[in-house]
């Protein structure tokens, strides 16, 4: 099956202009980072043939220190996963990206400091240095600084900022705890790496940003207006909306399976593909343990909010409005994005559910 679809894909490429008679449509989905349990649902959907059942031949693209939006807007990928702030900022800069499904219902963004640093309140950051990741991953930190009434060196118009934001290439060991007082950490990845550096959780202060009122939605699926408007996408005979619908249906099926069978998923579908990134950025010796732990944390982010109400992948309008409001309040966005930013159509088609039925 896989083999014939590859041949079909090759044929479709070779005679690009001809209407597709091939079984499957080649589609590229841009992940937000290198392969790890954070993307378990997609690996499962691909390995277990959920995508193939929908007539899609999906390639999952890894990415490093860049925004997935760049590859999707440029056409190098058809769909992508990213965070809401990144998506909305790009939308405001005129890039025609569209939100089609919200996979994680909760933010996993945390700030970590040594207890010895003596930071009583997370807003108590004036004169401190904070480690952040660049490429659109710094917005939650920016929102935090602004909410606390602090300026930072991430602001292009402030020359003497209150907080020094230190960018570093994702491995917290590079900066923490020697170079920065506080470091950004995903609750499902870097926190474990910091523990792996020899700082047990009882020596650390860990602040989850959602607990600080910064609940910016994270992993979501997006595409472009161009893809959704296509009548006959890439000559497949299917519309762009139909392809988006099929992709969501298979992906959500994959996620449901992954969350329900975590150990098996990590063993069979994550560890075989995650290669060098299995151990995070290299501080934990045991790749398997790290990924199983990550899968468990990821499952918590997935199985919250709308998912608990039986609507996985649903972007709760209230949660969306809260994210938008926060971004506007903290002047990361100058105004609320236009209505075309979110398209519920493919998700409704894929799940057979309605916005009304799922809204909180």
Partner 1 sequence: MATLSPAVSDQRPRPGMAKPPIAALVLCLLGHLALVAFLLAWWREETAAPFAYRLLLGLAVAVGGIGVGGIARHLARHQLDPVRAFVPALLTLLFGLLALEAVLRAYAVPPGLWPTPSAVFARLWTARRVLLADAWQTFVLEAVVGFGIGVGWALPTALLVARCPFLQRGFMPYAAAFASIPIPAMAPVAVHMFGLGWPSKAAVVAVTVYFPVVVNSVRGLLEVDRNLLDLMRSYAADERTTFWRVRIPNALPFLFTALKLGTALAMIGAIVGEFFGATGQGLGFRIQIEAGRFGFDMVWAAILVASLLGIAWFGLIAGLERRFTGWHVSLRE
Closest CA to 358 of 322, 308, 298: 308
Cα separation of 87 and 222, whole Å? 8
Q: Minimum CB separation from partner 1 for residue 247, in Å?
A: 24
Q: Minimum CB separation from partner 1 for residue 226, in Å?
A: 13
Other Cβ atoms closer than 10 A to 93:
9
**Pick 28 or 174: Cβ nearer partner 1:** 174
**Pick 73 or 119: Cβ nearer partner 1:** 73
- DSSP codes of every residue in 189-215: THHHHHHHTT--GGGEEEEEGGGGT--
Other Cβ atoms closer than 10 A to 158:
12
Pairing of strands 97-102, 220-224: antiparallel
**Pick 115 or 179: Cβ nearer partner 1:** 179
Q: Are 61 and 28 spatial neighbours (Cβ–Cβ below 8 Å)?
A: yes
Q: Minimum CB separation from partner 1 for residue 86, in Å?
A: 8
Handedness of CA 174, 177, 182, 187 (dihedral sign): positive
> Cα torsion for 114, 37, 250, 230, to the nearest 10°?
70
Residues that bind partner 1 (CB under 8 A): 65-67, 69, 73, 89-90, 92-96, 129, 134-138, 152-159, 161, 164-169, 174-175, 178-179
Angle between helices 40-47 and 240-260 (to 10 degrees): 100
Other Cβ atoms closer than 10 A to 114:
17
**Pick 55 or 136: Cβ nearer partner 1:** 136
**Pick 2 or 66: Cβ nearer partner 1:** 66
206 phi-psi bin (left φ>0, alpha ψ -120 to 50, beta other): beta
Q: Minimum CB separation from partner 1 for residue 90, in Å?
A: 5
Q: Minimum CB separation from partner 1 for residue 152, in Å?
A: 7
Pairing of strands 56-61, 25-30: parallel
**Pick 94 or 352: Cβ nearer partner 1:** 94
**Pick 95 or 123: Cβ nearer partner 1:** 95
Cα separation of 188 and 193, whole Å? 10
* 331: its two tokens: 């002047």
Cα separation of 241 and 233, whole Å? 9
Q: Minimum CB separation from partner 1 for residue 187, in Å?
A: 22
Nearest 5°: the CA angle 186, 87, 242 is 110
Q: Are 224 and 100 spatial neighbours (Cβ–Cβ below 8 Å)?
A: no
**Pick 173 or 250: Cβ nearer partner 1:** 173
Residue 272 CB partners (closer than 8 Å, separation 6+): none
Q: Minimum CB separation from partner 1 for residue 141, in Å?
A: 11
Q: Minimum CB separation from partner 1 for residue 303, in Å?
A: 30
Q: Minimum CB separation from partner 1 for residue 177, in Å?
A: 13
Q: Minimum CB separation from partner 1 for residue 232, in Å?
A: 24
**Pick 164 or 268: Cβ nearer partner 1:** 164
**Pick 178 or 202: Cβ nearer partner 1:** 178
Tokens 């309040």 -> residue? 329
């Amino acid at each position: 099956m896989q083999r014939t679809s590859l041949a079909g894909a090759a044929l479709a490429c070779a005679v690009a202009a001809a209407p597709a008679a091939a079984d499957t449509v080649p589609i590229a989905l841009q992940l937000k980072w290198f392969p790890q349990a954070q993307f378990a649902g997609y690996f499962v959907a691909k390995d277990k043939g959920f995508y193939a059942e929908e007539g899609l031949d999906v390639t999952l693209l890894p990415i490093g220190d860049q925004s997935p939006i760049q590859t999707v807007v440029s056409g190098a990928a058809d769909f992508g996963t990213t965070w809401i702030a990144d998506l909305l900022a790009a939308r405001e800069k005129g890039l025609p990206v569209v939100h089609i499904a919200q996979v994680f219902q909760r933010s996993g963004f945390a700030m970590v400091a040594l207890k010895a640093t003596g930071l009583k309140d997370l807003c108590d950051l004036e004169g401190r240095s904070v480690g952040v990741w660049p490429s659109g991953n710094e917005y939650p930190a920016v929102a935090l600084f602004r909410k606390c009434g602090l300026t930072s060196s991430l602001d292009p118009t402030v020359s003497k900022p209150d907080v020094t934001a230190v960018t570093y290439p994702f491995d917290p060991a590079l900066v923490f705890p020697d170079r920065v007082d506080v470091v950004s950490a995903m609750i499902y990845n870097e926190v474990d790496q910091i523990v792996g550096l020899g700082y047990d959780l009882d020596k650390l202060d860990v602040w989850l940003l959602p607990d600080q009122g910064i609940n910016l939605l994270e992993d979501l699926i997006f595409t472009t207006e161009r893809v959704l408007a296509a009548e006959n996408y890439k000559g497949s005979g299917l519309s762009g909306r139909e392809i988006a619908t099929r992709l969501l249906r298979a992906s959500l099926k994959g996620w449901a399976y992954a969350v329900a069978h975590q150990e098996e998923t990590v063993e069979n579908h994550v560890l075989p593909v995650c290669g060098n990134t299995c151990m995070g950025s290299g501080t934990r010796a045991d790749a398997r343990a790290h990924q199983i732990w990550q899968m468990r944390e990821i499952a918590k982010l997935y199985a919250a909010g709308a998912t608990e109400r039986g609507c996985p992948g649903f972007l709760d309008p209230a949660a969306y409005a809260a994210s938008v409001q926060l971004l506007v309040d903290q002047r990361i966005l100058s105004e609320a994005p236009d209505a075309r930013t979110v398209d519920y159509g493919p998700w409704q088609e894929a799940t057979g559910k309605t916005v009304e039925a799922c809204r909180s």
